[in-house]
Structure 1
Amino acid sequence: MVSGFRALVAAWTLVLGALIATPAAAGVLQCVPYARQISGIELYGNAQTWWGQAAGRYDRGNEPRVGAVLAFSASRAMPVGHVAMVSQVVSDREVLLTHANWSYRGGIERDVRAVDVSPNNDWTDVRVWYGPIGGLGTRSNPAKGFIYPHQAPASDKVQIAMASASDGAAAGRAF
């Protein structure tokens, strides 16, 4: 009986030692890598730096568009800011967001409601769905605006299509 108890204590010591040796943040999904993955916007660093980094690299604005990333400012509640991708535009004052690490540590939330409550209708003050209360959060969050992913203008798409077609025709003639 004593040796069985010692084996059990030894096993628990190994398990607890492994848990203690693992950093608390290991494996926790953060908003930045998730937003980068789902939006294709190639920015790095804390979320609070995305707005500034996007200047000259990506179009930015205050109009919600599907695929755009809403860049939240740093605040007391969010010292490193937050980023979330627009998955649907409901109206000019309401969108659905897909993001990570908001309501639940490391959790992903898809198509959650966000409402522009800014006095100038410019998405600089936003209330976002918060899972633990089952509704919009009790506070608003400061935001910079939207960062838009790169998209080739329609005229560029036509030129690319025409070039591909002429390359295919030339390749067909070579045989």
Structure 2
Amino acid sequence: MWAAATFGATLVAAPLPAAAGLLDYVGQCVPFARAASGIQIYGDAWTWWGQADGRYDRGHAPRTGSVIVFAKTSRLPLGHVAVVSRVVEKRVLMLTHANWSRQNGVRGHAEQDVTLYDVSPDNDWSEVKVWFRASEGLGSSVYPVKGFIYGGRPSPQLTSTNPDYVGALIDAYVPGAGR
């Protein structure tokens, strides 16, 4: 497990103390996704899809414990990776990830069981909207996704004991949540 420490302007990953929990993490999405999923890939988030080829099974259907790989875009120049904590229904799932929403004005914190909504025209998880703390609902941006990487050993702290399934469905299906 890793935590982030800042030295000057550089963010450095450091091992988490044994007593620290997954959700205490503050730092980048990549070390968090590696610790939360057990998938041992390194490098920028957008490179995970290619790096997984031949090492891990990959696909376009979410599974609990799989890593979703967001493509590199102008808004996500390094991409993003997150771990599927729950599949709610065919177009809605929950993620556990780090470095997405701001908490107390700071990015990097871990968030557990946040809503992800498939807004792709073909229902293939190629485009999604992500729950964003500042708006207390799905953000307005649509993000392209490469797919899901399978085969790690997810952390037992990946999901809460009582996730808000109803809230996730409301987030996804309120008017205007989709395209």
Tell me the TM-score normalised to structure 1 length.
0.71
8 Å contact kept, 2:57–2:150: yes
Q: In the TM superposition, what whole-angstrom CA distance separates every residue of 1:125-171 from its partner, at most 9, and x where no partner exists?
A: 000000011100111101001000258xxxxxxxxxxxxxxxxxxxx
Residue 25 of structure 1, CA deviation: 3.5
1:23 and 2:9 matched:
yes
Q: Helix, strand or coil for the counterpart of 1:25?
A: strand
After TM superposition, which residue ranges in structure 1, 4 or more long, deviate above 3 angstroms? 24-28
Residue 172 of structure 1 is matched in structure 2 by none
Q: Helix, strand or coil for the counterpart of 1:78?
A: coil
**1: CA distance between counterparts of 2:135 and 2:10?**
25
8 Å contact kept, 1:63–1:92: no
Greater helix content: 1
8 Å contact kept, 1:60–1:145: yes
Letter in 2 for 1:80: L
Structure 2 gap segments, 5+ residues each: 1-6, 14-25, 154-179
Letter in 2 for 1:35: A
**2: CA distance between counterparts of 1:72 and 1:143?**
4
**2: CA distance between counterparts of 1:110 and 1:128?**
13
Greater strand content: 2
**2: CA distance between counterparts of 1:24 and 1:137?**
28
**2: CA distance between counterparts of 1:58 and 1:34?**
18
**2: CA distance between counterparts of 1:99 and 1:88?**
13
Which of 1 and 2 has greater Rg? 1
Higher mean C-alpha deviation, range 119-128 or range 21-30:
21-30
Q: In the TM superposition, what whole-angstrom CA distance separates every residue of 1:18-72 from its partner, at most 9, and x where no partner exists?
A: xxx7226357510000000010000000000000000011111111100000000
Residue 145 of structure 2 is matched in structure 1 by 143
Residue 60 of structure 1 is matched in structure 2 by 58
8 Å contact kept, 2:128–2:145: yes
Structure of greater relative contact order (alpha carbons < 8 Å, 6+ residues apart): 2
**CA separation of 1:86/1:132 partners in 2, compared to 1, >3 Å: closer, same or farther?**
same
1:97 corresponds, among 91, 95, 98, to 95
Q: In the TM superposition, what whole-angstrom CA distance separates every residue of 1:87-134 from its partner, at most 9, and x where no partner exists?
A: 000012110000000012111110000000001111110000000111
**2: CA distance between counterparts of 1:125 and 1:37?**
25
8 Å contact kept, 1:48–1:74: yes
8 Å contact kept, 2:65–2:152: no
| Number of aligned residues | 131
Residue 110 of structure 1 is matched in structure 2 by 112
Letter in 2 for 1:117: V
Letter in 1 for 2:116: A
2:32 corresponds, among 15, 21, 34, to 34
